Amino acid sequence: MGDYTVVGEVSTLIERTLHAAVQAVDGNAVAILDDLSGNVPTSPPKLTIFLYEIAEDPPSRNRPHVRPDPANPQVVRKAPMALLLRYLVTAWGGDQVTQHRMLGVALRTFYDNAIFTGPRLTGGLAAGADALHFTLTPLTLDQKSLVWYALQKPYRLSLNYEVRVVNLDATEDLPGAPVRSRAVVPGLVS
């Protein structure tokens, strides 16, 4: 079940996964969550993970209501809100070659592990049967420049990843008796 903590849990999952990957290549390197609002120290070399957008997943908007308790069919609940999270992964520190290698580690990590399910998920993510799909998302140079302009920082080579579908469960139950019969009456429009 995805409660209000799911966005933070996905961010923590990404941080732990990338931290383990860069540590395996360079014992000094780290991966951290960072909103890029301040100066990013360049020692030790690091990957910053910045959640820059949360959106509703368009293909999932019209999912039907669910029955949270099969023993009580009189109650329905809205389908979970399907979220799409967009992250900016940026390398800092060392020389350009070191930064490119760190970005290569991130690319390989999410290429090899494009779908996270089951025991790899923790907290509220583990309670459901959902899968998180990681996709490298192409952005035009203009779109990337707008992100960096909003951060008031010079452009840096970065990776843009989408994580979908992160389900945020509704909490309000609605009355909804099951349909027991239906009738088609010619000429009647309702």
Using the Cα atoms of residue 132, residue 136, residue 138 and residue 143 in order, give the sign of their dihedral: positive
pLDDT in tens, 142-184: 988 898 899 898 889 999 999 998 877 777 766 666 667 777 8
CA dist 180 and 136 (Å) reads: 46
Domains of the chain: 6-175 (3.30.2000)
Interstrand relation of 30-33 and 46-56 (parallel, antiparallel or unpaired): parallel
Answer yes or no: is pLDDT of 1 > 60.
no
* pTM, 2 dp: 0.83
What average pLDDT does range 92-118 have in this prediction? 92
Residue pair 85/168 in contact (Cβ under 8 Å)? The answer is no
**For the ranges 115-129, 134-148, 174-188, which has the lowest average pLDDT?**
174-188
SS3 52: strand
